[in-house]
C-alpha cells in the first residue's frame, strides 16, 4: 500500500486519478485529502497536527510580531525539511485554516514536478486555490449546505456551530449556494481607525442558474460592497443602534408590479461580550423568505414591515 506520508505520492495520486491537477477542482482535492488523511476523523487541530507530523511537516507557532500585517502564516522547505509557521496566539480555527492553506501552497510546485504538462499557478492564483482548498476541507460541501438551510442561512449561528469565523462561513456559503439560490450576504465591522464608523468588510452573493427569473439584476449600487459605510436608517443601522436583530419583510426594489421584492435580516454579534463586534446581513427574494424561518424562530428579530429601494 502506497504511503502518503510523502507529499509527492499524494500529488501523483491526484494526477493519476484526474489526469492533471487542473482537472481536479479544489473541492476535489479537498475530498481526496479528507478520504486519504482524515479517514472519517473530524478535521480538528489535534488531527491536523497528527497529519502534519505523519507527512514530515514541522509546525511552528511564532509570536504575532514576527508576521507582516494581514499575514497569518507561511511555509518553507530547507534541506528537505518542510515547515509551516503560524501565529501562536491565533484562534484555533485560524491555525487550522493556516495549516491547510500552507499545505496546499506547499504541494503546488510538487504538482508541477509530477505532471509535465501542468503549468504551476502564480502567486495570487495559488493563494486563492489554497483558501478554497482549506475551506473545502474544513467545511465539506454537502454537510455544510444542509446545515446552511437547516439554520436558515444564519451566518453567526453557523460560525458558532463550526467554530469558524463569520468571514469563512459567508464565503463558503457563496461557494455551496452558487448556481441554486439568489442571495446577498455581508459583514459589517467597526475598525475604530476611522472613528465610530461601521463598514462592509466582506460580502458575497449567489445566483439561481436553474431559474434565471429568480434573480435580481440591474440594481447597480444597491448591494453594498467592501468598504461601504452603513447607511443611516438602514436595517444594519437599526441593528447597531439597538444591539438587536432586525428583519424587513418587504423591500420594494422597483416600481413595476412584476417584481416580488426582497427580504433581509440583520444579526448582531457580541464578541467579546458585551462589545458589538459585527453585524451579519442576509438578503433573499421575498418569494424565498421561508428559507430564513429557522433563523427567525431562533432570533425573534424586531420586524420592520417595509423599505423602499434601500436596505
Sole residue written with cell 412584476: 258
Domains of the chain: 7-138 (1.10.10), 153-308 (3.30.450.130)
C-alpha cell at 167: 468571514
Report the pLDDT value the prediction gives residue 1, as an integer from 0 to 100.
42
Please give the distance of CA 203 from its chain centroid, rounded to a whole number: 10
CA distances, 272 to each of 16, 143, 250, 277, 278 (Å) = 48, 29, 33, 8, 11
Opening angle at CA 290, ends 142 and 146, nearest 5:
10
Q: Tally Cβ neighbours within 10 Å of residue 242.
A: 11
Report the pLDDT value the prediction gives residue 195, as an integer from 0 to 100.
60
Q: Where on the phi/psi map is residue 235: left (φ > 0), alpha (ψ -120 to 50), or beta? A: alpha
What tens-digit pLDDT sequence spans the chain (311 residues)?
Answer: 456 778 889 999 999 999 999 999 999 999 999 999 998 788 899 999 999 998 999 999 999 888 888 889 999 988 888 999 999 999 999 999 999 999 999 999 999 999 988 999 999 999 999 999 999 999 999 999 999 999 999 999 999 999 999 999 999 999 999 888 999 999 999 876 656 789 999 999 988 888 877 777 767 778 999 999 999 999 999 999 999 999 999 998 876 555 678 999 999 999 877 889 999 999 999 999 999 999 999 999 999 999 988 88
- Residue 92 has φ and ψ, to the nearest 5°, of -60, -45
Sole residue written with cell 482535492: 29
SS3 288: helix
Q: Tally Cβ neighbours within 10 Å of residue 182.
A: 22
- Contact (Cβ atoms closer than 8 angstroms) between residue 247 and residue 220: no
Q: Are strands 246-252 and 262-270 parallel, antiparallel or unpaired?
A: antiparallel
- Name which of 311, 190, 191, 303 is nearest 245 in CA terms: 303
DSSP state of 80: T
- Name which of 176, 214, 24 is nearest 33 in CA terms: 24
Report the pLDDT value the prediction gives residue 97, as an integer from 0 to 100.
94
- Name which of 252, 257, 255 is nearest 304 in CA terms: 252
DSSP state of 38: I
Amino acid at each position: 500500500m502506497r504511503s502518503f506520508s510523502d507529499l509527492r505520492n499524494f500529488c501523483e495520486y491526484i494526477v493519476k486519478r484526474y489526469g492533471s491537477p487542473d482537472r481536479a477542482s479544489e473541492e476535489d482535492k479537498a475530498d481526496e485529502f479528507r478520504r486519504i488523511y482524515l479517514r472519517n476523523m473530524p478535521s480538528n487541530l489535534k488531527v491536523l497536527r497528527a497529519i502534519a507530523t505523519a507527512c514530515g511537516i514541522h509546525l511552528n507557532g511564532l509570536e504575532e510580531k514576527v508576521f507582516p500585517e494581514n499575514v497569518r502564516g507561511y511555509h518553507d522547505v530547507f534541506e528537505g525539511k518542510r515547515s509551516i509557521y503560524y501565529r501562536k496566539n491565533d484562534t484555533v480555527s485560524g491555525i487550522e485554516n493556516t495549516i491547510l492553506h500552507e499545505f496546499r501552497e506547499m504541494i503546488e510546485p510538487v504538482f508541477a514536478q509530477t505532471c509535465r504538462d501542468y503549468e504551476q499557478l502564480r502567486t495570487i492564483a495559488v493563494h486563492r486555490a489554497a483558501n478554497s482548498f482549506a475551506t473545502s476541507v474544513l467545511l465539506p460541501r454537502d454537510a455544510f449546505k444542509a446545515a446552511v438551510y437547516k439554520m436558515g442561512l444564519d451566518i453567526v449561528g453557523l460560525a458558532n456551530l463550526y467554530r469558524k469565523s463569520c468571514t469563512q462561513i459567508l464565503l463558503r456559503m457563496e461557494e455551496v449556494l452558487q448556481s441554486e439560490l439568489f442571495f446577498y450576504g455581508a459583514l459589517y465591522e467597526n475598525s475604530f481607525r476611522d472613528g465610530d464608523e461601521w463598514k462592509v468588510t466582506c460580502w458575497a452573493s449567489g445566483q439561481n442558474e436553474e431559474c434565471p427569473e429568480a434573480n435580481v439584476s440591474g440594481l447597480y449600487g444597491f448591494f453594498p460592497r467592501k468598504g461601504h459605510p452603513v447607511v443611516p436608517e438602514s436595517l444594519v443601522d437599526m441593528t447597531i443602534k439597538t444591539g438587536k436583530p432586525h428583519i424587513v419583510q418587504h423591500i420594494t426594489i422597483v416600481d413595476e408590479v412584476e417584481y416580488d421584492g426582497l427580504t433581509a435580516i440583520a444579526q448582531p454579534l457580541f464578541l467579546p461580550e458585551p462589545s458589538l463586534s459585527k453585524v451579519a446581513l442576509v438578503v433573499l427574494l421575498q418569494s424565498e423568505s421561508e428559507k430564513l424561518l429557522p433563523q427567525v424562530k431562533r432570533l425573534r428579530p424586531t420586524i420592520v414591515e417595509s423599505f423602499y429601494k434601500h436596505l
